[in-house]
Amino acid sequence: LISALIPVLPTDIENAIAESAIREITDEIGNNTKKLKIVVAIIYRKAMQDERWAATAISLFIYLCDAIPETMHVLNDEDVANEAPPSGPGLVRRYLHHFLQLDFESDMLGPYWSVPRLWFLAELPVFDADETINTPFCTSRRIKIDAAKKMAESVHLFNGLNLDLLLEFIHWVVPSVDEMPCNREELTAVLEGLSLRASGEQLMAQLLVSGLLRMRENSW
């Protein structure tokens, strides 16, 4: 059921159907964290094959976080060896972040970056500034800032469409990041570094980066 149901779910799936599918899957998972990790991997890999499926994957993860018991936990896991063992929805976040980190770091070593991965990362919900609309699946703004920083510092930044992908990513995530003063300062440092790098590149790169900075100054 786990390996057969998820890949056939459409990009325009209705909420009720998505929730029902996850309920069936969590019934099969029970308290088995290895099965949970497999489910997270299947949903994530599907999203990495098609950027249009990013929003669907995030909806499934949100329903998954709501459905699994808070008591589900691992005592020994190689992915969390240096941290307090997570439980419940924390397991979903931890497994997903593990897959994302490995693949993103691999992307940064190559000349061309994954469009679906950046779309998915950009769409990940973050903790709300006033803590009114958080879900168990919310993640940290720092993850997105760190991703932007690594892209801005990459030796492959000006290869192909990589700069365009970074600028699109920043444009997508900055409004939520700027809600928090400490995060805003961190992102400002990233953008200043990006501007400095672009100053030594072709005119088009300089114009694209300066245009993004002006948009931010004008509150988008």
Is 37 strand, coil or helix? helix
Lowest-confidence region among 13-17, 33-37, 95-99, 208-212 = 13-17
Q: Do 116 and 44 touch, CB atoms closer than 8 A?
A: no
Contacts of 113 (CB under 8 A, 6+ apart): 107, 151, 156, 162, 165
Annotated domain spans of the chain: 1-139, 141-220
The pLDDT of 120-133, averaged and rounded, is 74
What gap in Å lies between CA 136 and CA 89, rounded to an integer?
Answer: 6
For 19-51, the pLDDT digits (tens) are 898 999 999 999 999 999 999 999 999 999 988
Note the pTM of the prediction, 2 decimals.
0.85
Q: Do 138 and 92 touch, CB atoms closer than 8 A?
A: no
**pLDDT for residue 198:** 97
Structure tokens at 113: 């970056």
